[in-house]
Structure 1
Amino acid sequence: MFENEALRLLVTVAESGSFTQAAVRLNYTQSAVSRRIAALEQQAGGPLFDRLPRGVRLNPAGRTLHRHATDVLDRLSRAERELAVLHAGQGGLLHVGAFATANISLVPTALRALRDARSEVEVVAAEGPTDVLMRRLADGALDLAVVSDYPSGLPPADGVTTTVLCEDELRVALPRGHRLAGAGAFGLEELRDEAWLQSAYGDRPTMLADACARAGFSPRKVIRIAEWTGKFGYVAAGLGVALVPSLAARAVPDTLVLCRLTDPALRRTLHVALPEAPIPAALELGELLRTTVDRGF
């Protein structure tokens, strides 16, 4: 409704207490300031200043608009500064997304390296499933995301490019007292009588269902638990077992053990996803993620 220049004029007149002084500051004529303020008052629905024998002062309506005007102008000024450093590759905001288990160690390790190298970059972190992260990238709400093809592949997203980061093996979490806890790698058919902890809902195919089918059985029972802490609690209580990415190994409590499975298909691929025109800080973080993977984070 109100133009930025009109709001800037309002603030300048309020600060100087005079149309004449505001005109001098802004290199306008006094009559031009009077006309612009009159037009602004018409937009606002009434007077904004009390006209005094010497100068002007804000009336209640003017003080209300002045409060909002200073807030808007401050936000615009900060946006200009952030854009300037962003386009210069020197800093600014970096919106980063990742799925839950990538945030256990991989992404935080890379972000710590970015902070050490580029303290002027301010990271805004977001967590969510891959399909949501890809949509947010396509919408311009994220600058980079770490995504996965588990459980049903990478969804397409206009204007988003993906490159492979690494592969992540899926293991099975068992309570320490389980008969297979010390067995090393074994086939999934050894767990045909177990209940399974899963977070996926609906009828979409899952890697677990496909792997069980290859092993010649269907899960006896599936318990739907969304959060990893809940899954670990159920496994520790002996109520079921769960597939756990090796990426999440550092978060597994001591009451559980992670065992390898012999099915080579039980793995997922992680990707770095970027918009078509990534900002410099996003490209730098992408390289740091690859370095983090190479070092085993």
Structure 2
Amino acid sequence: MFAIDDLRLLVTVAATGSFTKAAARLNYTQSAVSRRIAALERRSGGALFDRLPRGVRLNPAGHALYRHSTEVLDRLARAERELAVLHAGDGGPLHLGAFATANIALVPAALRALASTRAEVEVVVTEAPTDTLMTHVADGTLDLAVVSDYPSGLPSADGVTTTPLCRDELFVALPRDHRLAGSSTVHLAELRDEAWLHSAYGDRPTLLADACARAGFTPRKIIRIAEWSAKFGYASAGLGVALVPSLAARAVPPDLTLHRLSAPTLHRTVYAALPTTPLPAALKLRALLHETNGPQPA
């Protein structure tokens, strides 16, 4: 019903108390201001100003519209400032998603570096599996996501571009009293009789199943545990062994040891996923993620 320019004109006339002064401030003619105020009053259903011998002043209806006009114009000004900050990459909200183990060391280190250079960027973090994260980048819910191709390959999503960040080697976690705990590397076939602590991926193919098949055996027993803290607890109790990505090495408790696998070697690739038109702050964070290395076991 009301154009933004008309609301600005109303506020300016009210501030100056004169059609002539408002025209000079807005670079209009006095007659143009009079015509536009008259048109605004018709749309409003009645007069908005009392015409005085010298100038004009708001009447009760004018005061009501003036109050709403200043609120609308203030919100628009704040929106313009926020968008300018967002497009400059210097502040505003940044919605970030990551899978669980990326949040142990990789993502926090990059966010710490971002905070030191872009302190006004407000990061909102979501943790979810890779397929969910890719969907949220595609639908605009996330501005950036850290995803991986484990266990079933990197899912594709329309309007999402992915860039490799790092190669994440998978190790095996053993309790310190395990018979192989003193070995620097372990052949996967040496663990053929162990129970494996593994995330609950249902019937989808997994890297563990494929690796065991290439090593010539099928896991004797799989205990389905999704959370890393629970996996470590079970492994510490000697109830099973677990594959642990190097990104999660910092979270491994001291009563477990990590060992490289001599054959077959296992790894996944970690990616940054961005929408087609990313925010500058998202691009900056992606660069910082490139520079951040997850902790590697000795």
TM-score (norm 2): 0.76
CA distance in 1, matches of 2:99, 2:274: 15
Give the CA deviation at 1:167.
Answer: 0.7
Residue pair 2:149, 2:269 contacting (<8 A) in 1 also: yes
In structure 2, the residue matched to 1:162 is 162
Give the CA deviation at 1:165.
Answer: 1.4
SS of the aligned residue for 1:229 comes to helix
Larger displacement relative to structure 2 (156-165 or 206-215): 156-165
CA distance in 1, matches of 2:112, 2:240: 36
Determine which structure has more spread, i.e. the larger CA radius of gyration: 2
SS of the aligned residue for 1:140 comes to coil
SS of the aligned residue for 1:152 comes to coil
Give the CA deviation at 1:178.
Answer: 1.6
1:114 aligns with 2:117: no
CA distance in 2, matches of 1:157, 1:136: 10
* Superimposed CA distance per residue, residues 73-100 of structure 1 (whole angstroms, 9 cap, x where no aligned partner): 6655433212112223433332222111
Aligned 1:1-297 pairs, distance under 5 A? 70=71, 76-293=76-293
Residues 73 and 234 (structure 1), Cα distance of their counterparts in 2 relative to 1, 3 Å cut: farther
Give the CA deviation at 1:197.
Answer: 1.5
* Superimposed CA distance per residue, residues 47-83 of structure 1 (whole angstroms, 9 cap, x where no aligned partner): xxxxxxx97669xx99xx96xx95x766554332121
Residue pair 1:162, 1:272 contacting (<8 A) in 2 also: yes
SS of the aligned residue for 1:146 comes to strand
Q: What amino acid does structure 2 have at the position aligned with 1:157?
A: A
* Moved >6 Å (runs of 4+): 1-10, 23-35
Give the CA deviation at 1:122.
Answer: 2.3
Residues 130 and 7 (structure 1), Cα distance of their counterparts in 2 relative to 1, 3 Å cut: farther
CA distance in 1, matches of 2:258, 2:93: 38
Give the CA deviation at 1:7.
Answer: 8.9
Residue pair 2:143, 2:282 contacting (<8 A) in 1 also: yes
Alignment length, in residue pairs?
A: 287
In structure 2, the residue matched to 1:46 is none
Residues 234 and 202 (structure 1), Cα distance of their counterparts in 2 relative to 1, 3 Å cut: same
In structure 2, the residue matched to 1:47 is none
Q: What amino acid does structure 1 have at the position aligned with 2:231?
A: K
Residue pair 2:249, 2:295 contacting (<8 A) in 1 also: no
SS of the aligned residue for 2:186 comes to coil
Q: What amino acid does structure 2 have at the position aligned with 1:96?
A: L
Of all paired residues, the percent bearing the same amino acid is 66
CA distance in 2, matches of 1:133, 1:204: 18
Residue pair 2:250, 2:295 contacting (<8 A) in 1 also: no
Q: What amino acid does structure 1 have at the position aligned with 2:96?
A: V
RMSD between aligned residues: 4.0
Residue pair 2:105, 2:295 contacting (<8 A) in 1 also: no
Residues 141 and 78 (structure 1), Cα distance of their counterparts in 2 relative to 1, 3 Å cut: farther
Q: What amino acid does structure 2 have at the position aligned with 1:263?
A: A
Q: Which runs of 5+ in 1 are unaligned?
A: 43-53
Residues 222 and 3 (structure 1), Cα distance of their counterparts in 2 relative to 1, 3 Å cut: farther
Give the CA deviation at 1:251.
Answer: 0.6
Residue pair 1:82, 1:93 contacting (<8 A) in 2 also: no
Residues 33 and 254 (structure 1), Cα distance of their counterparts in 2 relative to 1, 3 Å cut: farther
